[in-house]
């Protein structure tokens, strides 16, 4: 009886491992600068680059900021709730407003990385990213 239970448990573990999906690669964020905006008290600008390795996907989130995106290399797919997803190549731009929920953010390629520049205009000290449903 103990052998049967052990064998059953082992089969269940193997079945679970066989069905497990590897997590997609995570974005690599490199902060470039943060600057208080003297003409706009309580506001700051933040600039950073994001590299999406091949197959990278962002979780649903929001920035609570004006976000300006400029694609430097590769191709990315971006979209906000109630908007149409767009595929952007190097030299193209994307805007996300303070009330937008970023529902799609991913590398368009499974074989090549993509890199983009982001400029955020946000409340001073506010988080850069907030999880969203």
| pTM beyond 0.85 | no
What pLDDT, on the 0 to 100 scale, is given for residue 7?
41
pLDDT digits (tens, 9 = 90+) for 17-48: 445 677 888 999 999 999 999 999 999 999 99
| CA 115 – CA 20 distance, rounded (Å) | 29
Which residues make Cβ contacts (< 8 Å) with residue 18, sequence separation at least 6? none
| CA 21 – CA 12 distance, rounded (Å) | 16
CB environment 30-64: b (16+ within 10 A), e (fewer): eeeeeeeeeeeeebbbbebebbbeeebebeeebbb
| CA 96 – CA 80 distance, rounded (Å) | 7
∠ CA 103-16-56 to the nearest 5 degrees? 30
Contact 61, 131 (CB under 8 A): yes
pLDDT digits (tens, 9 = 90+) for 48-85: 999 999 999 999 999 999 999 999 999 999 999 999 99
């Amino acid at each position: 009886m103990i052998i049967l239970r052990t064998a059953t448990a082992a089969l269940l573990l193997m079945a679970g491992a066989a069905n497990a999906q590897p997590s997609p690669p995570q974005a690599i964020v490199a902060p470039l600068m943060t600057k208080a905006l003297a003409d706009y008290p309580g506001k700051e600008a933040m600039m950073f680059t994001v590299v999406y390795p091949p197959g990278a996907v962002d979780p649903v989130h929001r920035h609570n900021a004006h976000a300006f995106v400029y694609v430097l290399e590769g191709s990315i797919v971006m979209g906000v709730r109630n908007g149409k997803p767009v595929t952007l190549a190097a030299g193209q731009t994307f805007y996300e407003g303070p009330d937008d929920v970023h529902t799609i953010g991913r590398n368009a390629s499974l074989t090549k990385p993509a890199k983009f520049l982001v400029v955020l205009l946000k409340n001073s000290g506010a988080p850069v990213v907030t999880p969203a449903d």
